[in-house]
Amino acid sequence: MSRPVEDSDRSQDSAEDPETAPAQQTTAQALLAQMGGISGLIYSSLPVAVLIPVNTAFGLMPAIAAALGVAALILVWRLIRRDSVQPAVSGFIGVGISALIAWMVGASKGYFLLGIWTSLIWAGVFMLSVLIRRPIVGYAWSWIQGHDRAWRSNRRAVLAFDVATMTWVLVFASRFVVQRHLYDLDQTGWLGVARIAMGWPLTAVAALVTYLAIRVAQRATHAAHAGTHDADADIDVATND
């Protein structure tokens, strides 16, 4: 015997779960915080914006010193503001390693090698996660939010996370292809432009796709959970009858 569906049930099912919106907002904030926030994405472009003109005007060593100086100022500023420490420190370390590579190579274009090859590695890792049906975006969401991995049994949720993960693959792969080509051509100026243009703007696009994928996955898993709950309720009613 099936349970009659009341108007209140219909309106409740058609309305969005009140717990979903806060969860989505929290997830978006957590993802953005992991990248250092909006300001962190912009700050990451400043050392490059300083490196290229200083190198053109004064040479490699002053350019390296200028990039390190800007990175140090950004680190101090973010610590004073009590921003998230991890993105600030990791950003400074990244600039330091890039500057060291530039010094070892003996050319300012060496500053970009770390980012170029890191992009290739991340593209491969994200692609592999999709091929083995373990999309990294889904696991990152589970880790950040402390959720279980029930989404893996929901095909729609897995597909959404596959799409988001592949978006990051495209971002990383495009960075590698374009910047590696400019590196081989010794186009250091355009390499700096590409680094900035393909930095936080593409990251923002990929983050938006990730957020939309999370919304789809949350709705899919919630609908599956609600369907299971209704089925259990019908069984209980039939048993009692």
Measured in residues, the chain has a length of 241
Q: How does pLDDT run across 35-89, given as a tens digit for each residue?
A: 555 666 678 889 999 999 999 999 999 999 999 999 999 889 888 888 777 777 8
- Contact between 50 and 58 under an 8 Å Cβ cutoff? The reply is no
As a whole number of angstroms, the distance between CA 120 and CA 172 comes to 6
Structure tokens at 123: 């593209």
The pLDDT of residue 172 is above 90 = yes
The pLDDT of residue 9 is above 60 = no
Q: How does pLDDT run across 22-38, given as a tens digit for each residue?
A: 444 445 555 555 555 56
Local structure of residue 207 (DSSP, 8 states): H
As a whole number of angstroms, the distance between CA 67 and CA 33 comes to 24
The pLDDT of residue 11 is above 50 = no
Structure tokens at 164: 């988001």
Q: What is residue 154's three-state secondary structure?
A: coil
Query: What's the confidence (pLDDT) of residue 125?
Result: 97
In Å, what is the CA distance from 185 to each residue of 46, 51, 63, 230?
24, 19, 20, 63
Helix or strand holding residue 134 (H, E)? none
Query: What's the confidence (pLDDT) of residue 181?
Result: 97
The pLDDT of residue 184 is above 50 = yes
As a whole number of angstroms, the distance between CA 71 and CA 219 comes to 41
Query: What's the confidence (pLDDT) of residue 130?
Result: 96
Q: How does pLDDT run across 187-215, given as a tens digit for each residue?
A: 999 999 999 999 888 988 998 999 999 99
As a whole number of angstroms, the distance between CA 123 and CA 102 comes to 24
> Residue 107 CA to chain centroid, in angstroms?
30
| Phi and psi angles of residue 171, each rounded to the nearest 5 degrees, phi first | -65, -50
Query: What's the confidence (pLDDT) of residue 241?
Result: 56
